[in-house]
Amino acid sequence: DAGVIQSPRHEVTEMGQEVTLRCKPISGHNSLFWYRQTMMRGLELLIYFNNNVPIDDSGMPEDRFSAKMPNASFSTLKIQPSEPRDSAVYFCASSLIQGATDTQYFGPGTRLTVL
């Protein structure tokens, strides 16, 4: 398996623009997670899905952020409008939550810079 795939790897945009980040989880996994990592706040969970259904979105900072998972093999995280404080590395991770074993596998991340 190719692992978790994220695109783009780098995104530079101007304040006010819409940004869409994409993630393809590992085939067969039933859970998908979106994280944001900054120097100040470390790694924070934004939202996670189980069987394509959002379970916990309490980490989504505000209404400018939205996430979808239309099927088991694809998810998007959208920021509209983007602001400079959204600059961070955004990670997608997937896992198979089945009983006690649920190791999360992370993608390489998307480094977002909002000017």
Partner 1 sequence: KQEVTQIPAALSVPEGENLVLNCSFTDSAIYNLQWFRQDPGKGLTSLLLIQSSQREQTSGRLNASLDKSSGRSTLYIAASQPGDSATYLCAVRRGSGNTGKLIFGQGTTLQVKP
12 makes contact with partner 1 (CB under 8 A): no
**99 phi-psi bin (left φ>0, alpha ψ -120 to 50, beta other):** left
Q: Which residue number, 72 or 97, has a Cβ lying nearer to partner 1?
A: 97
3-state helix, strand, coil in the chain (%, to 5): 5, 55, 40
User: Nearest Cα to 95, choosing from 35, 11, 21, 20?
Assistant: 35
**25 phi-psi bin (left φ>0, alpha ψ -120 to 50, beta other):** beta
100 makes contact with partner 1 (CB under 8 A): yes
Among 26, 86, 109, 114, binds partner 1 (CB under 8 A): 109
Among 5, 20, 22, 45, binds partner 1 (CB under 8 A): 45
Q: Which residue number, 14 or 102, has a Cβ lying nearer to partner 1?
A: 102
Q: Mask of contacts with partner 1, 53-82, x by CB under 8 A? A: --xx--------------------------
User: Nearest Cα to 94, choosing from 30, 51, 45?
Assistant: 30
Binding site for partner 1 (CB under 8 A): 4, 31, 33, 42-45, 48, 50-51, 55-56, 91, 93, 95, 97, 100-109
